[in-house]
Chains A and B, each alone.
Chain A
């Protein structure tokens, strides 16, 4: 079983390594960025039971910070991405600190409200370029050596970041901390009665999730050489919920599958204009009604039944 899993991971990695020779790299990188974003979001929803409706703030803000530090301050790409990630983590600390005091719908609404504040900040602030966003962010040289303007170099950098990010999430879920987090998700009063200050655990989960969402956002800026309001808009917060539910919440790779499906759909259906939104809405309804565990969740359940 353990070996089978290792072989599966190795096969996925191999697939990731050869994919750019068959598929347009920018599309792949978009899949990876949103995959990591959904995965980070799922750390909070699937393992801490907290539905954040403001994760766009972390994705978008990290994108702006990364773009600004690279473009205007001349940071190398690795430092720009790091700055974006750190900022998202700090923002997560502030938003999480206020939001974790409530649960359920109130938690979701507080995160939404605070994310809207971030949106308006980005709209009005000078360094974000307001409605134009930051355009033409130079990709530069990673560690001063690897030229990221080469599509393949950029792709493998993104792949490495994605693998690293997902690995951190996997490790967090399967750590002593992850155990406590799952117990809080399952039965919060009981976790308190065992002596755990649950708010602190939720806050750490929130900060980790925000920082990793930021890592995805900062990486995305380097890929598209662009940071714009789209990424801080609440649409993005909604989309990540859809990605996670579609792929399978509470599984490590489910959200990645959901993100890939959604990104590919949007890519194929660009010709249909706004109908994409209608179609994703339909998919969401079908997903919630017919297969609530999500694509990967249903597959895993099927496998469990067969064994």
Chain B
């Protein structure tokens, strides 16, 4: 199995007016794994994320997804191929109901997204599947609520349910536990573990205890370059990593 890497980058570089935010990153994400991207603030994690999902254009380098070059792909097209991202701040549709949030994602497979002459009742056939997804993240009781009224941790859960609705092969989660209390973190970690069966997850994460419990492989970024890659135990003993990461965190 030469092709057991679902996502690969080679020499991925992004420059902003002379400032090199991401510098020659070679990343390999194994199919079926939970892969974490960590690093101190400003290491370029979110930039890498935006490059992978095509929200930013790379200055140099290649990205392949399932062996296919996606460097020139458009973000919406990429999502349709099965690479779906989440965002650092919770990405929900605040003025739609909780159910509608998930249903918007399910609508992609109906093919009636441009049908402005049809009643929205034609979408009701998606409600069962939407409810299933909401139940899976313990949001069944909130289905009718307008999303803006949902507590923060629940919004993250909703975001995951919405992403799952697309049945992505590869989920990219940008700091899924950011800004959460302990109970919420545990809930989200459990959730990620649950949804990781049969799919690959690449996540940016600050919380090292989350990473150590959840992730199979870790890539450490510092100043836009890869510092180390491997399982948590190995990477966490790497002196360079300790210096760059722990040093920056605890000083």
Is residue B60 contacting chain A, with contact meaning CB distance below 8 A? no
Smallest beta-carbon distance A229→chain B, Å: 32
Whether A178 touches B116, Cβ cut-off 8 Å, given contacts A186-B96, A193-B79, is yes
Are the CB atoms of A190 and B91 closer together than 8 Å? yes
Are the CB atoms of A182 and B87 closer together than 8 Å? no
**Which residues of the partner chain B approach A201 to less than 8 Å between Cβ atoms?**
113-114
Smallest beta-carbon distance B76→chain A, Å: 5
Residue in chain B with minimal CB distance to A205: B116
Per DSSP, are chain B's interface residues mostly helix, strand or loop, or mixed? loop
Whether A179 touches B100, Cβ cut-off 8 Å, given contacts A194-B84, A194-B105, A194-B162, is yes
Interfacial residues of chain A within 34-65, with CB under 8 A of chain B in the complex? none
Are the CB atoms of A177 and B115 closer together than 8 Å? yes
- Interface stretch, picked from B17-25, B30-38, B119-127, is B119-127
Whether A190 touches B93, Cβ cut-off 8 Å, given contacts A176-B118, A177-B113, is yes
Are the CB atoms of A192 and B117 closer together than 8 Å? no
CA distance A252 to B197 in the complex (A): 45
Smallest beta-carbon distance A186→chain B, Å: 4
Smallest beta-carbon distance B82→chain A, Å: 10
Contact among A174, A183, A192 with B104 in the assembled complex (CB-CB below 8 Å): A183
Which bracket fits the contact residues of A? 20 to 34
Smallest beta-carbon distance B192→chain A, Å: 17
Are the CB atoms of B75 and A176 closer together than 8 Å? no
Are the CB atoms of A171 and B116 closer together than 8 Å? yes
Contact among B76, B92, B118 with A192 in the assembled complex (CB-CB below 8 Å): B76
Interfacial residues of chain B within 51-69, with CB under 8 A of chain A in the complex? 53, 55
Residue in chain B with minimal CB distance to A177: B116
Smallest beta-carbon distance A195→chain B, Å: 4
Residue in chain A with minimal CB distance to B110: A176
CA distance A196 to B114 in the complex (A): 11
Whether A179 touches B116, Cβ cut-off 8 Å, given contacts A187-B92, A190-B91, A196-B76, is no
Smallest beta-carbon distance B201→chain A, Å: 15
Are the CB atoms of A189 and B116 closer together than 8 Å? no
Residue in chain A with minimal CB distance to B84: A193
Are the CB atoms of B100 and A195 closer together than 8 Å? no
Whether A179 touches B115, Cβ cut-off 8 Å, given contacts A187-B91, A193-B91, A195-B166, is no
Are the CB atoms of A194 and B79 closer together than 8 Å? yes
Interfacial residues of chain B within 40-59, with CB under 8 A of chain A in the complex? 53, 55
CA distance A195 to B114 in the complex (A): 14
Are the CB atoms of B120 and A197 closer together than 8 Å? no
Interfacial residues of chain B within 224-242, with CB under 8 A of chain A in the complex? none
Residue in chain B with minimal CB distance to A169: B116
Q: B119-140, CB under 8 A of A: which get 1 and which 0?
A: 1101100000000000000000
CA distance A195 to B118 in the complex (A): 21
Whether A174 touches B114, Cβ cut-off 8 Å, given contacts A183-B93, A195-B76, A196-B76, is no
Are the CB atoms of A176 and B115 closer together than 8 Å? yes
Tally of contacts, chain A with chain B, CB under 8 A: 105
Q: A160-191, CB under 8 A of B: which get 1 and which 0?
A: 00000000000110111111101101110111
Number of interface residues of B (CB under 8 A): 38
Is residue B212 contacting chain A, with contact meaning CB distance below 8 A? no
Smallest beta-carbon distance B159→chain A, Å: 8
**Which residues of the partner chain A approach B113 to less than 8 Å between Cβ atoms?**
176-177, 180, 196, 201
Contact among B79, B104, B117 with A175 in the assembled complex (CB-CB below 8 Å): B117
Is residue B14 contacting chain A, with contact meaning CB distance below 8 A? no
Are the CB atoms of B115 and A175 closer together than 8 Å? yes
Are the CB atoms of A193 and B95 closer together than 8 Å? no
Is residue A204 contacting chain B, with contact meaning CB distance below 8 A? yes
Are the CB atoms of B108 and A196 closer together than 8 Å? yes
Whether A176 touches B96, Cβ cut-off 8 Å, given contacts A193-B91, A194-B162, is no
CA distance A187 to B115 in the complex (A): 21
Are the CB atoms of B103 and A192 closer together than 8 Å? no
| Inter-chain pairs besides A180-B113, A195-B84, A197-B74, 18 sampled, C-beta below 8 Å | A171-B117, A175-B117, A175-B118, A177-B113, A179-B107, A180-B107, A187-B91, A187-B93, A190-B91, A192-B55, A192-B75, A193-B53, A194-B84, A194-B166, A195-B80, A196-B76, A198-B76, A204-B114
Sample of 17 A–B contacts (CB below 8 Å):
A172-B116, A175-B116, A177-B114, A178-B120, A186-B95, A186-B96, A187-B94, A189-B87, A191-B93, A191-B104, A193-B79, A193-B87, A194-B108, A194-B166, A195-B77, A195-B84, A196-B113
